[in-house]
Amino acid sequence: MMGITHTAIALAGASMVTGSADISVLLLAAIGSQIPDLDTTKSWVGKAFYPLAKFLEDKYPHRSATHSMFVSLAIATLTLPVIWIYGWQLWAAAPLGHLLSCFSDCATKLGCQFFWPINKDNWVIGLNPQNRIETGKTADYAVLAMSVCVLSISLYLITGGGGIGAWMNRTFFPTSQTAVELLRQENQRAVLLHIEGTRKIDNSRIDDKFWAVGANGGILIVRSNQEQMLRIGEGGEIIPKRVNVLPDRLAMKIRRQRIEEAEAAEWVKSLPPEALVVGTLEIEDAGEIQLPIPEPGVMPTVTRAGGGVNLDHASREDMKPLEEFFIMSGEVVIKQL
């Protein structure tokens, strides 16, 4: 098969198996799909790495050593630490791309030594030689077209609509709104973002990672590594220049709770340690609450509101000033990271 056909098959397969449209995952799958053709100097990858391709070409027959499923297993084994550093999807991409490329070559007239070196027979899919695929012929282009269609459908489902166009916008032209839309599609998961921009309070530069835990209109609500809550977007604490969505996700348990006549101290202590609370509390003698002055450049998470307070991703520490009071009623959403 043509190199571009192998690439398309690998991209379609990797996106379907991993459920990821991350550019790093797709790029590694594409690279993995080209490794088998390192055994010939006639392929484009063989021309790019000519000394290595020449060595393999002289030592092994075409579609033998580099086309083995055991090479896929070797790649997976050697890159195993990637699972703990970057996640299983990034780890699986290259060996999956290689395996799909080798397997697809079994559908060609020549086939390949899929189980080399245990079995050096050429394995071929299809009993009728006339129905097998020839490189650069009509069937090869048909497989290419089908793979692109499958890739488009896969990206459409992963991005929640928009297909390749939405994926390109998210990957190459990311904005805070892109992240807002993605966060709303996620099912109870925080999204890791790499944000470049400036702090509104002093115009200092921001270039750091944050966990996006919510969205309010077009504004992202994020938590920093210092566990500070910040708003990203016009009107927020950080004005973004570029917002990159990273593949990492963090599970969130989200539940609603209605409160009727409860001691604030007991209620706050009942919350999980990592809880972030959003909602409104009606508090007896609310005028006597002494809220601390918000730290400059940080989102206020507890604010006065009529006869009570509004909570916007408030932690247990943020709600300590309420512990001496009595909650008459309230309705909140509790997010547990």
* pLDDT, position 89: 87
* pLDDT, position 170: 57
The reply to whether 155 and 201 lie within a common domain is no
Q: Domain ends where: 201, 226, 251?
A: 251
* pLDDT, position 220: 87
Per-residue model confidence as pLDDT tens digits over 233-243:
888 899 988 88
pLDDT at 186 over 70: no
* pLDDT, position 76: 94
Q: Which domain holds residue 68?
A: 3-169
The reply to whether 159 and 186 lie within a common domain is no
The reply to whether 206 and 314 lie within a common domain is no
Average pLDDT over residues 42-65: 90
Q: Domain ends where: 169, 190, 206?
A: 169
* pLDDT, position 176: 62
pLDDT-derived band of residue 108, with 50, 70 and 90 as boundaries?
confident
Percent of the chain with pLDDT over 70: 90
* pLDDT, position 161: 53
* pLDDT, position 154: 81
The reply to whether 63 and 136 lie within a common domain is yes
User: pTM higher than 0.75 for the full model?
Assistant: no
- CA triple 88-90-92, angle to 5 deg: 65
Per-residue model confidence as pLDDT tens digits over 232-288:
888 889 998 888 877 788 888 999 999 999 999 999 999 998 899 999 999 999 889
pLDDT-derived band of residue 165, with 50, 70 and 90 as boundaries?
low
* pLDDT, position 208: 92
Q: Domain ends where: 122, 138, 169?
A: 169
pLDDT at 163 over 90: no
The reply to whether 31 and 116 lie within a common domain is yes
The reply to whether 12 and 136 lie within a common domain is yes
* pLDDT, position 169: 56
pLDDT at 11 over 80: yes
Q: How many domains does the chain have?
A: 3
The reply to whether 98 and 238 lie within a common domain is no
* pLDDT, position 309: 94
CATH of the domain at 203: 2.30.30
